[in-house]
Amino acid sequence: MDIEFFGATGEVTGSCYLLRVGKVRVLLECGLIQGTAQHERHNHDPFPFDPAQIDAVILSHAHLDHSGRLPLLIKRGFNGPIYTHRATVDLCAIMLEDAGYLNEKEAEWENRKRQRKGQELVQPLYTREQARAAQAHFQALEYAEPRDILPGIKLTLHDAGHILGSAIVDLQLSAGGNSRRLVFSGDLGHKGAPILRDPAFIRQADLVIMESTYGDRHHRSWDETWQELGEVVSSAASGKGNILIPAFTVGRTQEILYSFKQHFDTWGLADWQIFLDSPMAIEATRIYDRHARVYDDSATEIRNQSGGLFDLPNLHLSRSSDYSMRINRISSGAIIIAGSGMCSGGRIKHHLKHNIWRQHCHLLMVGFQAAGTLGRSLVDGASNIQLWGESIMVKAAVHTIGGLSAHADQAGLLEWYAQFAKHPRVVLVHGEPRAMQALSDKIQQQYGAEVIVAGYRQKLGL
Ligand SMILES: [Zn+2]
Ligand SMILES: [Zn+2]
């Protein structure tokens, strides 16, 4: 038995690990590489294994850095089942199709340039059609229901509390008279986060593979975070400007809507018109609605009392671009939630153009902003931004709410690891080198455990 690491080594994207148990080969994750254009080109590289030889895939959750190359794996010969949580199957349907659409657009744009230069044309990484074809491979599982998926491989998924359907992957393996238990954290949620249950604790493992995104960070408390958010809404009410919220479609958007529902009266939200301006976020919210059985206790209680988490009386769902353009004409009293979360694309750019130069406008940044994105330059205090070749001054008040993270911080990661009896060997993945090193040092100091920071193509015996 062994496992080889083909992605998310020294970085957070491109998760992909190959597990061999006797003659059986299982791929854990098949994620997209995300970052600079040059780095993303590696998505087109041949897989460092033969996709046709893979017996099954196990997917921890729907985020593209974990799922985004599944349609490519199938296109290149994989023909087995993909085991994942039932909610992840639904989220993947919209997220992979959207990724396919973006691939088609990107290839079209590139090919227009290439045609003019007389160069050879490129193919999209995969198309919408190919993304849809992946759906037939999914096998939906529930949490805490062990399933024998292949000879010598028993799989159980547990709550990871990161996004809807996110799972910790718990594998009981046996081959040649040996048995081992391997636990892969997937992406671990931030304890106390709204809607979902906290990450499950697992007591037994021979090897733990663990994410380390925020291995060197500490989050602000939830109470402080909600207070901050409430203060922004209240202070914006006096100036009567609009509030713009760039938000990730899956997860952050639903958390914001749910927090509005919980604090509707105290934050004076009845005085606003709230717009969810994103067809994909609307669809993701419906999927969150359909999977209420994975909610935590408070979300379940609110749902039982009022029928839903996201049904605000003054919430308007904007699907068409005509509707979106009509929102542009509102200069006061609107809260607009739109993607993309880092302002690098999507409808939020139009709303920025129509609002950011107004003094009473408030821009509420609720997610991580990567270096080089428009969102990051706004957070860093840019006085002007460029949109479609036009320079626009920034008069809006920009607020950063740092506590809304979908990942556990260092304390959360350590607490999760500490629950394992006998402090098993641990492999760190899914983190920048600095975060991984900080977490590695802490685990070694506090628990005396053997910690391995996974390297690209590193192979470990089990
Ligand atoms: Zn994730
Ligand atoms: Zn991830």
For the stretch 17-38, pLDDT in tens is 999 999 999 999 999 998 888 8
Is residue 288 within 8 A of residue 257, CB to CB? The reply is no
Distance 378 CA to ligand 1 centre (A): 24
Instruction: Identify the nearest ligand to the CA of 62 by its number.
Output: 1
3-state helix, strand, coil in the chain (%, to 5): 35, 20, 40
Distance 309 CA to ligand 2 centre (A): 25
- The neighbourhood of ligand 2, an ion, using CB within 5 A, equals 65, 187
> What 3-state DSSP class applies to 442?
helix
Distance 180 CA to ligand 2 centre (A): 25
Instruction: Identify the nearest ligand to the CA of 34 by its number.
Output: 2
* Neighbour-count burial of 340, counting CB atoms closer than 10 A to its CB (0-12 exposed, 13-18 middle, 19+ buried): buried
Distance 377 CA to ligand 1 centre (A): 24
- The neighbourhood of ligand 1, an ion, using CB within 5 A, equals 63, 187
In order of start, what are the domains of the chain with their CATH numbers? 2-217+406-461 (3.60.15.10), 222-400 (3.40.50.10890)
Instruction: Identify the nearest ligand to the CA of 431 by its number.
Output: 2
pLDDT at 298: 96
DSSP annotation of 272: S
Cα–Cα distances in angstroms (integers) from residue 396 to residues 54, 196, 246, 353, 357, in the given order: 52, 33, 14, 11, 6
Distance 71 CA to ligand 1 centre (A): 18
Distance 65 CA to ligand 2 centre (A): 5
Distance 5 CA to ligand 2 centre (A): 15
Of 262, 270, 290, nearest to 194 by C-alpha is 262
Which pLDDT band, with edges at 50, 70 and 90, does 323 fall under? Answer: very high
pLDDT at 35: 81
What pLDDT digit, counting tens, does each position of 224-260 carry? 999 999 999 988 988 889 999 999 999 999 999 999 9
Distance 330 CA to ligand 2 centre (A): 36
Residue 324: asked if its preceding bond is cis (omega within 30°), the reply is no
Instruction: Identify the nearest ligand to the CA of 211 by its number.
Output: 2
User: What's the number of CA atoms in the CB half-sphere (13 Å) around residue 200?
Assistant: 20
What pLDDT digit, counting tens, does each position of 169-198 carry? 999 999 999 999 999 999 999 999 999 999
Distance 182 CA to ligand 1 centre (A): 20
Distance 140 CA to ligand 2 centre (A): 20
pLDDT at 368: 81
Distance 156 CA to ligand 1 centre (A): 19
Which pLDDT band, with edges at 50, 70 and 90, does 345 fall under? Answer: confident
Is residue 68 within 8 A of residue 32, CB to CB? The reply is yes
**Cβ neighbours for 367, distance < 8 A, ≥ 6 positions apart:** 246, 247, 248, 252, 341, 342, 375, 404
pLDDT at 344: 86
Apex 342 CA angle, 339 and 345, nearest 5? 55
What pLDDT digit, counting tens, does each position of 281-310 carry? 999 999 999 999 999 999 999 999 999 999
- Side chain identity at residue 189, one-letter code: G
Instruction: Identify the nearest ligand to the CA of 12 by its number.
Output: 2
